[in-house]
Structure formats: C-alpha cells, structure tokens
Amino acid sequence: MTEIPLHQHIAPSGEQMTVRDLASCPPPDRWHDWVEYDAKAWPRKVEKHYEIIPTICFNCEAACGLLAYIDKQTGRVKKFEGNPYHPGSRGRNCAKGPATINQVNDPERILYPLRRVGRRGGGTWERTTWDEVLDTFASKIRAAIIEGRRDEVMYHVGRPGHDGYMERVLGAWGVDGHNSHTNVCSSSARFGYQIWCGADRPSPDHANARFILLISSHLETGHYFNPQAQRIIEGKMKGAKLAVMDPRLSNTASMADYWLPTWPGSEAAVLLAMARIILVEKLYNREFMRRWVNWQDYVAAEHPGEPQTFDRFIELLLDLYAEYTPAFAAQESGLAEETIVEIARQIGHAGTAFAAHTWRAATAGNLGGWQVSRALWFLSVLTGSIGTPGGTALNTWNKFVPAPFMKPGPSEVWNELLFPPEYPLANYEMSILLPYFLREGRGKLAAYFTRVYNPVWTNPDGTAWIEMLANEQQVELHAALTPVWSETAWYADYVLPMGVGSERHDLMSQETHAARWIGFRQPVLRVYKEGNGEPVTHTYQANPGEVWEEDEFWIELSWRIDPDGSLGIRKYFESPYHPGQKLTIEEYYRWIFENSVPGLPEAAAKENLSPLEYMRKYGCFEIPQEKVPVYTLNERELKPAELESSQLDERGGKITRSGAAIGVTIDGKAYEGFQTPSRKLEFYSATLKEWGWPEYAVPGYIRSHVHRSVINPERGEYLLIPTFRLPTLIHTRSGNAKWLYEISNANPVWIHPTDAERIGVQTGDLVRVTTEIGYYVNRAWITDGIRPGVVACSHHLGRWRLETGQGAERWASALVSLGRDQEGMWHMRHLQDVQPFESDDPDSSRIFWREGGVHQNLTFAVHPDPVSGMHCWHQKVTVEQAHPEDAYGDVYVDTHKACQVYQDWLAMTRPQAQRSDGLRRPLWMIRPYRPAASAFKRQ
C-alpha cells in the first residue's frame, strides 16, 4: 500500500490540484480497491479492502464532497472522509461531514413508513406500505387539482439539499405550493441584497481579499462553514485583515483582527458611518459609482431641481448621511469611534479587494434587519468591489444550476397562504404565519408535506403549530418526509423515512468561492451494488429497511396522480430516452450531465467515460471559466443581435425590449448589467417607494424592536440573542449523530459577569428567562464572550419527546410532559433527561450527558418584519434567578398573548391591495417558486 502525495494528482479538470496541505489521499484510479490496514488488528498487518465512492454531505447547505469507504467484506459503509477533488471543500470537512456515518448507523432511525392510529399526536403508529402511502396522497392531490383547489397542496421544506428538483415537480402539478423555512432564516438578508442588485445572496472572494468584514459568525459556524472558512484563513495568510461584527465572541470573531461587539440592531448605523467616512475622505471608487449606480434615478426623483450630475449626487450623499458620524454610530453600537474610523479607512484602502458577508444574525434578529445587508452592500458598491477578484459577487455568478429536460411552465395560481396581501415585498413565503392564516379561515390544506422541516420545534410559537397540525379541518392529510423522528413528525398522519446524505441523489451547487461547480450526491450503496453487477431499480433496494429517496418518491407519486397522462403531468416524469416509459432517476441526471453542463461531456470523453460515469466517479465538476466566467459579469457587452428591436432610455441608459429591461448603456456601450429594473445597482429603490415605503427608498437605519433605549438591565431587562449556531450541530438534525452530541449537548444562557453579578447568579445556576409570551428555565454560563446587557442561547438544543422510546432521538431528547391548563396556557416539564439506553450500538449505553438543553423557541411570539417578512428573532427578556418551583427545562407559554403579538406586528404592514395595476408583488422580484406573470395580477 503506497499513498501518493496529493500534489502529484491531476484534478478532473486537467489542472494540478491546488490543495496544498492534505498530506495524502487515495488517488481515484485506486478508489475501486483501496487497501488500509485494520487498526484493530495492530500490531498485525491485516489488510482491509475498500471501494471508495464520492457523494455530497447533507448536513448543511454547503454541499461539501465526501468519500464513502465501503468495506468490501461487509458491503457496509465504514467511514466518510473528504473528497479532495471537490472544488468547494477540497478534501476538508467540518465535524458534521464524517458524522454522516452516525446517521447511517443510528439505531434510532425510522426504517419503515408509519401511519398514525387514533388521534393526531396520540403517539400510536402502525407500519404501512409505500403503495398505500402513494395511493392515499395521489388521490388527495389529484382531487385537489381536478377541482381547482391548486392552493391546497403544499410542500414545506427545511433543508432542500437540491437545486430545482421540487420546483420542477410542483410546476408539473401546476400548484403554487412551495413553502420554505426561509423566513426564520435568511429572507431579511436576502431582501437587502436583492433590492440592490437583483440577486439575493452574496458570494465573497475571501481568498483574494485585502480586507474582510463579516457581520455575524455564520460563515464559520453555519452558512458555508467549511468552504468559506478555509478561504477566509487563506486570505488572512496572504495578509488580509478580518473584522467580525458580532455581540458574541464566536469562533469566527476569535480569529479576527477586529472583534466588534455591537449592540444588536445597531449594525446599519455603524456601516453607514463607515460609508460616510469613505465618502468624506474620498476613498470611494468614483468611476465604478458613476458607471454602475442608478444615481440618475435618485437625483431625478428626489432632487429634480438640482443639477443632474454625478458630482451633485455625491454632495447629496454627504448631506443624506451627515448624521451618521462616528460619534452617532458609537453611541448606537457601543463601539469606539476610533475603531469605526480605522476600519472604514481600511475598507476604503482595500478598494476592489474588499470582501463582505452577512447572513442571518443581525439581519434575522432585528426589525428592519434587511437594512443591515443593504448597508453592507453599500460599502461594496462604494469600493467598487462587486464581483471583482477579492470582492463580493452575486451568488448567481458563482453558482451553476443546470436545466433538466422538459421544464414545466409556471403555474397560473397564486397562493395567498404563502404571499398574502399584507407582505407584497416578502422575500420568501410567510411561512411562520401559516397557523394564523389557517385559523383565520384564509384557506386549508388538502395535502401537506413537511420535508426535513420541524416547525413545531424550530419556529416561533411552536404551540400554534401543534394546534394547526392537530386540526384535521385545517390540515386534512400530512406526511413528514424525514430520516428521523421530530417533534413535527409526531403530529403527522404519515412518517415517511427518507435517506440520509449518502442514501439519495441530489444535484447541488453553492457559491462557495469565485468559481462555478456542481456536486452530485449519490446513494453510495446503490452505486456500489450496481458497480458489482447487482441490479438495482430503486434506491430503497440498497438502503436499509424501506428507506426511500425523495426523487423516486415524487416520480412514483406523479404517475399515480396522473396515471393516463390526461392531466398533462405524467409527461414530465417519462423517460427522455424511452418515450412513454417511467423516468428512472439515473435517466434524469444522465440527461442533465449530457446536455446542460458546459465542459462536462468533453472532460468525461478525455477519460473515456460518459458524463454520468464521470459524475459517478468524481462526484463533482467545476465548470471551466472559459465556458462560464465568474467575475464582473455585469460588464458583459451585449451583442448586436441581442439589441435588435430594443429601446434606449436616455437618462439612465436602460435598454428595454417589449417593456422588459435587457441591459444598460454606459458611455455609449451596451452591457448586460444587473437583474434590477434599472439594470444598475439600485442605491435608489423606486420599488420600495412605489410599494408603500418611501422613507426606505435609499439605504438607511431602522431602529430595532430591541433598541438600546427599550432595554434597561437595571430593571432586569436584557436583549436575548437566540439565533446563534454551534459549529458542530445541524439545527434539529443532529440528534442522530452521536459524535456531534458528545461534543455539544447543552445550550446554557451566556451572561456577562457584570450582568451575572447584578442578577446574582453563577455558572450552573438556574435562571428564568421571561419573554413577552412566556418563560423558560435554563442554566447560566458566565462569560466575557458576550457584551454586557446582552444574553444569548444557542438554538440547536432542547429536543423533546412525549413517549419513552420514540418521538425524538434518545441521544438528544428529554422525555417531557406537555399540556394545556384550563386557561389554555401551555406547560412543559422534563420528566426524564437524556439517559443511556440499550441498542445495537454499544455507545448508547455510554451516554454521559444528561441535560440535553432547553427548548426556548416555544416562548417566542412571531415578529414578521413588515417589509421583508422575516421573523425578527431577538427578544427583550427579563432574566432572574429561578423561582423555587422552577426546574431545568420548564417552559410556559401564554397563547393569548402570542395572538396579540401577531396582531400587533400585522398592524405594522402596509398592504397594497388597491393598486391600479392590480399587481400583488413587483414583477421583477424573485420568488423561490415563480408562478406565471399573469398570477401576479389580481383577477
């Protein structure tokens, strides 16, 4: 056995591997029979033979590459390691990647489809067949489609794990039924980006940056954790400076040159102060601003009597942001004035090599949090670092989503349960308000799928979700598609076990760096069996028990909804190679690889492989940049043929055809520009003005609902940050990963020593944290890693179950009592904390942790931002010593107060139902599943 140093390897693209510091890795030509010595046999040298098959991690959205080592003797997966050929992760994974093996072998996993017996939530289940499941749902959905109830079919997803597959399914069914978790996650950050540039995610080129500014820790503890984290460090090793704005000393902040523990919600004030310094000190990129900002629109609309010149625009900017002095920003944030000035200058000097990112955190915590991402992007615009080497690109420039065969047209339906009239600009579906909308009689659900989604546990006001799911008039039929038990699955009619990351097909691409790549998640045991001559027609034949993969579930279900093709659905699920026959999952991906991925057929041919064989072999492919470039795509010049029959708007240079913007003319040349109404970067948003928010037409600062002025620690009041992630846990999907729970198994309340002294608690003491609708009891952790006046509690932990042996993974959950008193108040109490248990895995009897955390989200009311629709997570709370009757894990919720808070926040909206154009939403704004333009208009 000889390990070949990695630097001798040639990557699939033909280039020498750039991975520098992986000492060794099996070369692909030996993946079919890789030999290692059996560590347990030491000191004897006993050979173990493995087949290595690549797949993609499913434990966050970064889609890193994994290599599954399949033991040829047992036919089982032995371990997962990183795939060095994966362009995003380059062979490195976080702890969650290798922990996939725990999920495969978890003795608690569900292996067969289950149907409830008795009332919903009663906890009695029986095994059923997939045939029965498919027939039940097919007849329900078919009836809804035939009877024109196309808004009663809903697919509600937590972690999608694929690009475009479900949108195709829902499009084929002709329903507007895509719902997501995004308005508890990132819709606010997305809105701030979208309103500027038309794309709703940033893609920083950290490795080539000179200065990096991150708002929150999410790059290193969640969002694209590993691929971006490694490039941040790469940038630092080349001399870049790193600043992290986060009230909590996160892992990321601990690596920073500047830790900026701002008061939560003040971030936009600090960023605008930095913008003003860059303007005052003339550090901005004048030429980029002149060419690419829609300054003409701003001056014309807001200052029609002024000279319509760029110089006057800059003067107006200085007036507009005059109040954002370092002193003002310091007063709002608690940072030192000198620090704000110093960082602003460093950003200005970094110029086009300034990389910046924000996600969740400040944007997700605060009323008006979307102004944080908008203000951050303003710094990128000022420095001209949009899509440059070392700058920040649009996600659409660094991501590649290949088209499938036969893409269905958009549906003609608009579902107001998803996009109601009160939130015309909501960046994503108003997911958290679904229980309230159903309760108000705005609709009902005939068939409801939750998929890798646990709203009872994850969403604010989880008891409203319990009430909704238990109501068979509001939700007639509910299936939870999940590899594991969850609090939500408990209230389903069917629990349908789906494969974990190495047991399914998916195609993914993410904007991890300045490149475009696709990753192919594949069921490794199926590939192994097929490679060894064992015929497999469906993935469940290779998975444990009767665990399916979703791709095949949707194909089967679609055929049963439309068995004779008369509804026009079946044709999308017929083979592109054998007309009339049922599509196989292999054919679906084969067609994409053969037809939709530039450069892949050629790369495969060089190795005498078909494109599908190439993807099965390597699990990933990087699109050559000569085929699809990645930097400054706004500068692409339009060809004469593209300009035929177009019109030019002389003032701003917009080029239109049939009323739709197709490009922009600057200094006499026609460019593609950005996907905005003006095709420029929209400092001035006519959209916000026209849709009811004129005061927000330009980047600004909105005082958060948890502004410093409303919180007085002397009265026991604090600002609770409930959003932060632990780098080793996966939202509510880590309970089946024993290694991860061994590392992180409690979520104490972080309290600064000065606050702890005031409250009178020490580390380990119980505290009662009271929100506007209830309270929870947890332990205190006293630390300097949080700024005074702010407390924090990680959102991962506190899983619970209502039965001894099922309902949530016993590695991670407490057995609780949960019920309502006569006044309708909900109470939860731990009956038994985490305990060792007997199973096939001897480790389950070695569990040493007991208190598995406290479920805090139940005590939060909904706070939908009136513009972006995002749930604003931060809470004004009181923190005090626990009362004598309190016990660890106690939760109390007043649902009457929860309803009142919903009404209070709803009253902040400005519905646009009476528009003369009849539009429900600006036509140019993206939607995750986009219906036809006609559906945007009220009939």
Residues 96 and 529 sit within 8 Å (Cβ to Cβ): no
Closest separation in Å from C-beta 746 to ligand SF4: 21
Residues 489 and 465 sit within 8 Å (Cβ to Cβ): no
> Which residues contribute to the site for ligand SF4 (CB under 6 A)?
57, 59-60, 62-64, 89, 93-94, 96-97, 225-226
Q: Which amino acid is at 31?
A: W
Q: Which is nearer to ligand SF4, 82 or 113 (CB)?
A: 82
Give Cβ neighbours of residue 434 (< 8 Å, ≥ 6 apart): 156, 179, 417, 468
CA contacts within 13 A on the Cβ side of 747: 30
Q: Which is nearer to ligand SF4, 225 or 674 (CB)?
A: 225
Q: Which is nearer to ligand SF4, 25 or 268 (CB)?
A: 25
Closest separation in Å from C-beta 63 to ligand SF4: 6
Closest separation in Å from C-beta 98 to ligand SF4: 8
Closest separation in Å from C-beta 84 to ligand SF4: 13
Closest separation in Å from C-beta 539 to ligand SF4: 21
Give 175-199 as a DSSP string: ---EEESGGGTTHHHHHHHHHHHS-
Closest separation in Å from C-beta 729 to ligand SF4: 10
Token digits for 650?
């002389």
Give Cβ neighbours of residue 362 (< 8 Å, ≥ 6 apart): 215, 216, 245, 262, 264, 265, 267, 369, 372
Bridge partners (DSSP) of residue 47 are: 37
Closest separation in Å from C-beta 763 to ligand SF4: 30
Q: Which is nearer to ligand SF4, 201 or 570 (CB)?
A: 201
Give Cβ neighbours of residue 787 (< 8 Å, ≥ 6 apart): 247, 248, 261, 263, 334, 752
Question: Among candidates 905, 70, 897, which has minimal Cα distance to 423?
Answer: 905
Q: Which is nearer to ligand SF4, 62 or 293 (CB)?
A: 62
Q: Which is nearer to ligand SF4, 65 or 866 (CB)?
A: 65
Closest separation in Å from C-beta 60 to ligand SF4: 3
Q: How far apart are CA 415 and CA 434, in angstroms?
A: 12
Closest separation in Å from C-beta 224 to ligand SF4: 7
Closest separation in Å from C-beta 452 to ligand SF4: 14
Closest separation in Å from C-beta 56 to ligand SF4: 8
Residues 767 and 779 sit within 8 Å (Cβ to Cβ): yes
Q: Which is nearer to ligand SF4, 61 or 833 (CB)?
A: 61
Q: Between the CA atoms of 64, 797, 333 and 372, what dihedral angle is there, to the nearest 10 degrees?
A: 50
What three-state secondary structure class fits 31? helix
Q: Which is nearer to ligand SF4, 225 or 572 (CB)?
A: 225
Q: How far apart are CA 771 and CA 877, in angstroms?
A: 5
DSSP-derived pairing of the beta strands 211-215 and 202-204 = unpaired
Give Cβ neighbours of residue 340 (< 8 Å, ≥ 6 apart): 270, 273, 274, 277, 326, 329, 330, 333
Q: Which is nearer to ligand SF4, 92 or 874 (CB)?
A: 92
Across the chain, how many H-helices and E-strands are there?
27, 34
At which residue do the structure tokens 């870049």 appear?
A: 240
* Residue 42, number of CB atoms within 10 A of its CB: 9
Closest separation in Å from C-beta 429 to ligand SF4: 24
Q: Which is nearer to ligand SF4, 151 or 809 (CB)?
A: 809
In 3-state terms, the chain is what percent helix, strand and coil (to 5)? 30, 20, 50
Q: Which is nearer to ligand SF4, 89 or 806 (CB)?
A: 89
Sheet order of strands, 258-260 included: 258-260, 241-245, 211-215, 354-358
Q: Which is nearer to ligand SF4, 221 or 878 (CB)?
A: 221
Closest separation in Å from C-beta 64 to ligand SF4: 3
Residues 885 and 647 sit within 8 Å (Cβ to Cβ): no
Buried b (16+ CB within 10 A) or exposed e, 49-70: ebbbbbbbbbbbebbbbbbbbb
Q: Which is nearer to ligand SF4, 92 or 374 (CB)?
A: 92
Give 848-914 as a DSSP string: ---------GGG----B-TTT--B---EEEEEEEPPTT--TT-EEE-HHHHHHHHHHHHTT----TT
Closest separation in Å from C-beta 188 to ligand SF4: 22
Q: How far apart are CA 430 and CA 906, in angstroms?
A: 12
Closest separation in Å from C-beta 89 to ligand SF4: 6
Q: Which is nearer to ligand SF4, 62 or 67 (CB)?
A: 62
Q: Which is nearer to ligand SF4, 57 or 169 (CB)?
A: 57
Residues in the chain: 939
